[in-house]
């Protein structure tokens, strides 16, 4: 069952609140809907300055999404090391990186055909 665009938009909006709550940096949204054979519709990508902040961002996203729209990730990967944590909300996948890990894997470069929206923050 596909999630409607509006519910994906709502989920992304709540995810962004969770990231901003703990000052996640360099937030990008990749719209993958025009690319064939993708696993989801959107990636939300951000980074933290340490494994502690990466885990704080992940926890903030999960709490905010759970509280505001009663959703939880289908799968969470990487929370043991706090370098790259993936939260899979089915149509929206969140990647929370430490900056050097994000630069190494360059997901934005791998998905170069995606429409990218950068989110500016005031901190």
Write down the domain spans for the chain: 5-112
In the sheet that holds 84-88, the strands lie side by side as: 75-77, 84-88, 92-98, 42-48, 25-31, 115-119
Contact 89, 11 (CB under 8 A): yes
Q: What is the structure's pLDDT at 5?
A: 55
**Structural domain 5-112, CATH architecture:** 2-Layer Sandwich (3.30)
pTM (predicted TM-score): 0.93
Q: What is the structure's pLDDT at 11?
A: 97
Helix extents (H) in the chain: 5-21, 51-69, 99-105, 107-110
Q: What is the structure's pLDDT at 3?
A: 44
Using alpha carbons, select from 79, 115, 114, 72 the residue that is nearest to residue 97: 79
Q: What is the structure's pLDDT at 122?
A: 83
- Which residue is listed with tokens 């923050």? 121
pLDDT tens digits, 69-99: 999 999 999 999 999 999 999 999 999 999 9
pLDDT tens digits, 8-63: 999 999 999 999 999 999 999 999 999 999 999 999 999 999 999 999 999 999 99
End-to-end CA distance of the chain: 38
């Amino acid at each position: 069952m596909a999630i409607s665009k509006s519910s994906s938009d709502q989920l992304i909006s709540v995810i962004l609140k969770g990231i901003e709550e703990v000052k996640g940096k360099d937030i990008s949204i990749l719209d993958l809907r025009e690319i064939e054979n993708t696993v989801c519709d959107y990636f939300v990508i951000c980074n933290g300055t340490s494994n502690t902040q990466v885990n704080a961002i992940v926890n903030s996203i999960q709490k905010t999404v759970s509280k505001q729209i009663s959703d939880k990730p289908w799968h969470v990967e990487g929370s043991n090391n706090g370098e790259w944590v993936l939260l899979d909300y089915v149509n929206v996948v969140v990647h929370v990186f430490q900056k050097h890990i994000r630069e190494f894997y360059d997901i934005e470069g791998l998905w170069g055909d995606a429409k990218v929206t950068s989110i500016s923050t005031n901190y």
